[in-house]
Structure formats: C-alpha cells, structure tokens
C-alpha cells in the first residue's frame, strides 16, 4: 500500500485514550503551525520580550519540532496502540518540564515555555487517567 493510502486510512473503532492522543496531536500541529507562520505570537499572545536577534528563527524551529511531535501523536493515537500513549505520558511528565521550566526561569521566552511546560504535563495527566480506566484485552 502507498504511504498516502495508509495515512488516509480510516482508523478502526478507537478507544478514548487513542482519540485523546490524536486530539492532542491536532493541538500540537496547530500550535506548531502558529509559531512557524507567526513567530511574533510569542509577544502578542504570551507577552514575552521583543526579539533582539535571531530569535524569530528559533521560534520557527521550535514550531517545527512541535509539528513533528503533533504528527507523531496524531498518527500514534490513530494507530490505537496503547504503548504510544504510555510513552507520551512519561516524556510529557518528565522531559518537558525538566527542560522547558529551567529555560523559562533563565529568561528564555518565559511565558511561552512556561505555558508549554505546564500544558503538556496537564494533557499527559489526562492521557494517564484515560489510560488507567481500561486495561487492554488479552
């Protein structure tokens, strides 16, 4: 089968946790696209300081990373695999706050990074709650 055919395939009846993960992917795709298209969102929406150098390019790079994460969450969720949900919960609870919050404390886009540093773990907790509700069938 072609790659496009696989990407466009309608997923089977997905559990709520997979739908939630796919929905989180759409959130990240949208947020990443916003940062690529409008890096000034860091000032307009998050009230961070004006760019003094090449930060606009860094924000666009961050947007690309967020899009890649969203793409993987979207299709990981659409796959119905519980393993992707478990992996995403761990990385979002551990790695994201451990990296983004110290960067924000150092003054690097503090409002933007604190927003992502708190929103991402909150969404992970939602996934964890849904993940815990039903155990997979053998």
Evaluate whether residue 2 is within a structural domain: no
Q: Which of 83, 79, 73 is nearest to 31 (CA)?
A: 73
Q: What is the pLDDT of residue 138?
A: 45
Query: Could you tell me the residue range of the domain that residue 99 belongs to?
Result: 15-133
**Domains identified in the chain, total number:** 1
Whether the per-residue pLDDT at 137 is higher than 60: the answer is no
| % of the chain surpassing 70 pLDDT | 96
Inside any domain, residue 3: no
* Residue 34 included in any domain: yes
Name residues whose C-beta falls within 8 Å of residue 109's C-beta, 6 or more positions apart in sequence.
42, 46, 48, 55, 59, 103
Give domain status of residue 9, yes or no. Answer: no
Burial 85-112 (b: 16+ CB within 10 A, else e): beebbeebbeebbeebbeebeeeebbeb
- Length of the chain (residues): 138
pLDDT category at 122 given cuts 50, 70, 90 is: very high
Helix (H, G, I), strand (E, B) or coil at 71: helix
What pLDDT is recorded for position 136?
Answer: 54
Is residue 70 one of the residues assigned to a domain? Answer: yes
Q: Domain for residue 48, yes or no? A: yes
Tell me, yes or no, whether 67 lies in a domain.
yes
Residue range 5-64, pLDDT digits in tens:
988 888 889 999 999 999 999 999 999 999 999 999 999 999 999 999 999 999 999 999
Contact 136, 83 (CB under 8 A): no
DSSP H helical ranges for 50-136? 55-79, 82-105, 110-133
Position 1 in a domain: no
The pLDDT score that the predictor gives to residue 125 is: 98
């Amino acid at each position: 089968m072609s790659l496009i055919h696989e990407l466009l395939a309608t997923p089977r009846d997905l559990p709520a946790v997979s739908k939630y993960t796919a929905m989180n992917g759409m959130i990240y795709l949208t947020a990443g696209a916003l940062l690529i298209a409008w890096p000034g969102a860091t000032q307009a929406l998050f009230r961070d300081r004006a760019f003094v150098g090449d930060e606009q390019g860094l924000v666009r790079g961050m947007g690309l990373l967020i899009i890649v994460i969203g793409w993987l969450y979207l299709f990981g969720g659409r796959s119905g695999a519980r393993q992707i949900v478990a992996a995403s919960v761990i990385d979002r609870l551990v790695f994201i706050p451990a990296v983004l919050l110290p960067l924000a404390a150092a003054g690097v886009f503090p409002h933007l990074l604190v927003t992502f540093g708190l929103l991402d773990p909150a969404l992970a907790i939602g996934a964890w709650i849904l993940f815990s509700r039903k155990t997979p069938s053998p």
